[in-house]
Chains A and B, each alone.
Chain A
Amino acid sequence: MDDFLQNNGFLIVTMVQQALLAMSLYYPLMSGQLSLASPGFYALGGYVAAIIGTIEYFAPWRDALGWSIFPLEWLAAGIISGVLAVLVGIPALRLRGIYLALATIAFVEILRVICLNLEITGGAIGIFGVPQLFESRWSYIWTFGPLLILMLFFSYRIDRSRVGRAFKAIREDELAADAMGINPTRYKVLAFVIGAVLAGVVGAMSAPFLNTWNARQGTFDASIAYLAYVLIGGSRSMWGPLLGGTLLAALPEVLRPLKDSRLIINGVVLVFASIYMPQGIAGAVGRIRNFTVRKFGSARSEK
């Protein structure tokens, strides 16, 4: 078991991390907004942590705080991402559908080019030697794991709360929601900010995990990868991003025996999944369950 964790620790933690990033897309989607901005906030959060962790200015802080500098980095990344999300979200969320998606792609790209050119972000090379929180890759499960559980708990509760109902109403029919007294801008921005803060915090956790940080962390490819996680996992329930993120993140590893052609297969899987599992994996599981319930009767009594 220990061996297994040592050998596959990186993969397992990556799966959890990708599931979290998928969730960061899920919140805006819950309110009907297709935002692909997550990689931007993820990159930003990582830079915050990498900068706090490496530059001279913060050296006394690091010495004074010891390991507790890390939670502080997460906090800083979350706050900065949240503030930026409000600034970007208020104008951008007036857009709908594909227009919003394109605006968020533009945001990610602009941020990437800026990070590629600033001195403080290490330019094209990026930031090396970000201090580690743990010695082994596997141990990072103790940061990402609890965050995932926390986010699942949040999603579960939000889904059943007043705010979650407002999100879903906007997703179903923004105009009708408005006429029923829900301020769409406010809740769309809120959903966008939740996603951004989550992505930022995950970024801040990932910089120590990956040890280095550069502009390749926040790209268009990542935007689409996260979208694929959610859509293929299922965008209608919180289990969708969880399943999609973990399974698709593991896919290249699972396909490793295929060597160089594995990314080709990866693409094929995306095409097939979008065609044959329109409700995502979570939806497909739900359908199978409904089917068996109808066929063989429910285990629980119906209300």
Chain B
Amino acid sequence: MRDKFIPHLSSFFVWRRLSNMTTAEFIQNVLNGISIGSVYAIFALGYTLVFSILGIINFAHGAVFTLGAYFTYTLAVGQFGINGLLSGLNLDLQVPFAMALLIGAVLAGLVGVLLERLAFKPLRTRGADSLLALVSSLGVALVIVNAIQYLVGAEIYTFPSGVYGNIKPAMMFEVAGHTVVIRTVQVIIFAVCMVILTILGYVISFTRLGKALQAVAENTTTASLLGISVDRIILVTFFMSGFLGGLAGTLVGTSFGIAGPYFGVTYGLKGLAVIVLGGLGSIPGAVLGGIVIGLAEAFVPPDYSAYKEAVAFAFLFIVLLVRPQGLLGRSHIQKV
């Protein structure tokens, strides 16, 4: 056991791999990393928005992610398998994919709103211990995940290969005699994420809504004194959070398939690593964290791909010990 374990460990030293990696491999990894990293980023933004406003982590975010993928699937494909209440159903709604993607995300956003009203608001109005919000949001996650399973079973659903229209599934080009493959899905994912990030960045920095949001994040009491309806801002935040989560769910679903009702759990956890790495509550931090973790995972050598799942958590653990405020977070001194 010992002589197997030690090379395992040493291989984690990235430099060793980099030194005998071809340029093509390097570029391939960067492309893969940025593509998945951009999904992590928009997903994690959903956590960060809620955290920056309420100072709590919404543990149902992973479930909303899952739900978004299922919503889009229902709208765009609508064929269900052999398990669950809806088994054998063929809705055949034939909603164009771009439309389905958007509606799916909006529906996920509405679920976010519902989540806030059912699981968070009652606790907040009572001024309850914030730990309880963990449990209640997790209760909601349980409900969502098991409702999905109840309705459509635990099987894997995949989007048909042509969801993004009639385009080539992949592009290839040569770098120094080696092939680099770019899957079309990856490009689309990246593009969608960039569009969303741009819009979000604009909304937060330049609109009244964004200013109000920042004010609430800074200090709820002051914001409400300034005449901002805090309650409304919280609802909007949960809508955006759910929207981003649902969208990320669909995007991942088109790339890797929807691997059952639980497929959001891993992403839910990785999202936590992303926001801590970037700095809890920091919006640019979530984006940076997403890209960094996406890249780090992409550079895990194929022989050790089984450990890929641990990369985000290793980051999470180490960042917490070394720099708990994250890359872009603010540290604050406790007043005595």
Contacts and interface: CB of A to CB of B under 8 A. Distances in A.
Question: In the complex, are there CB atoms of A and B closer than 8 Å?
Answer: yes
A118 B1 contact: yes
Contacts of B144: 267
Nearest to A91: B321
A267 B276 contact: no
Helix, strand, loop or mixed for chain B's interface?
helix
B103 interface: no
B265 interface: yes
Nearest to B5: A118
B59 A105 contact: no
A80 to B, nearest CB: 15
A261 interface: yes
Which of B119, B146, B280 has the most C-beta atoms of chain A within 10 angstroms of its own C-beta?
B146
Interface in A228-262: 228, 231-232, 260-261
Contact of A271 (B143, B307, B310): B143
B317 A110 contact: yes
Contacts, number: 134
Contacts of B133: 274
B122 A103 contact: no
Interface residues of B, number: 50
Given A275-B123, A278-B128, A103 B147 contact: no
Contacts of A119: 1, 4
Nearest to A36: B134
Contact-size category for A: 35 or more
A109 B143 contact: no
A178 to B, nearest CB: 11
Nearest to A220: B269
Judged by DSSP, the binding face of A is helix
Contact of B135 (A94, A232, A260): A232
A273 to B, nearest CB: 8
Contacts of A272: 139
Interface in A83-100: 91-92, 94-95, 98-99
21 contacts: A34-B131, A95-B320, A95-B321, A99-B280, A103-B317, A105-B313, A113-B306, A113-B307, A118-B5, A120-B1, A224-B135, A228-B138, A232-B135, A261-B146, A263-B146, A267-B139, A267-B146, A270-B138, A271-B140, A274-B133, A275-B132
Interface of A: 34, 91-92, 94-95, 98-99, 101-103, 105-107, 109-110, 113-114, 116-120, 175, 220-221, 224, 227-228, 231-232, 260-261, 263-264, 266-275, 278
